[in-house]
Amino acid sequence: MWEIDTLLKSSIELISDSKLNPELKKHIVWNLENIPEVYEFDAGNFIKSELDSSFTYKKMNPYGLGYLIINEAKNNNKNHLIYDWSAFLLNFWSEYFSNIDTLEHIKLNYLEHIKDIFSKYDFTDYEPIHTTLTIYNNGNKWFSEEQNNLIKWYCN
């Protein structure tokens, strides 16, 4: 899944170059580097940063992590990351993230905020880096009804 690897690398670069609090940056980068292992993705072909053994890393909900990345992308005019992270969180929800929390809680606490940012941009001419990171406004035949409803909700 090279597209997820690319998404994670771009996100790590964004956060590393950001003006965020250094402690928050450590948490975010550590979580980005560990998404492939924690959620069993075939991605993450990058050299992990050195761990700070005196620092206690906190595992973040992928939707909270996505919100932080999307918000930072908005602040840095990295619109492609807003789209790609939205697609990642929506398209991979059922297969990888559905057991993390209830869908209603994810919508209320994370996706509402992400949707608000996403809706301020016109992605009509945006070409995703891979079909797996494409948002199908009316859903996809390969997705469950619940996942398609989530995507339709997000796009409207």
Q: What is the pLDDT of residues 93-102, one digit of tens each?
A: 989 998 999 9
pTM of the model: 0.94
**Which residues, 6 or more positions from 71, have their beta carbon under 8 angstroms from its beta carbon?**
117
Q: What is the pLDDT of residues 48-106, one digit of tens each?
A: 787 788 889 999 999 999 999 999 999 999 999 999 999 999 999 989 998 999 999 99
Asked whether the beta carbons of 81 and 121 are under 8 A apart, the reply is: no
pLDDT number for residue 43: 80
Question: What does the alpha-carbon distance between residue 28 and residue 55 come to, in Å, rounded to a whole number?
Answer: 13
pLDDT over 80 (residue 47)? no
Its sign, for the CA torsion 57, 10, 34, 136, is positive
Q: What is the pLDDT of residues 103-133, one digit of tens each?
A: 999 999 999 999 999 999 999 999 999 999 9
pLDDT number for residue 49: 80
Question: What does the alpha-carbon distance between residue 3 and residue 17 come to, in Å, rounded to a whole number?
Answer: 21
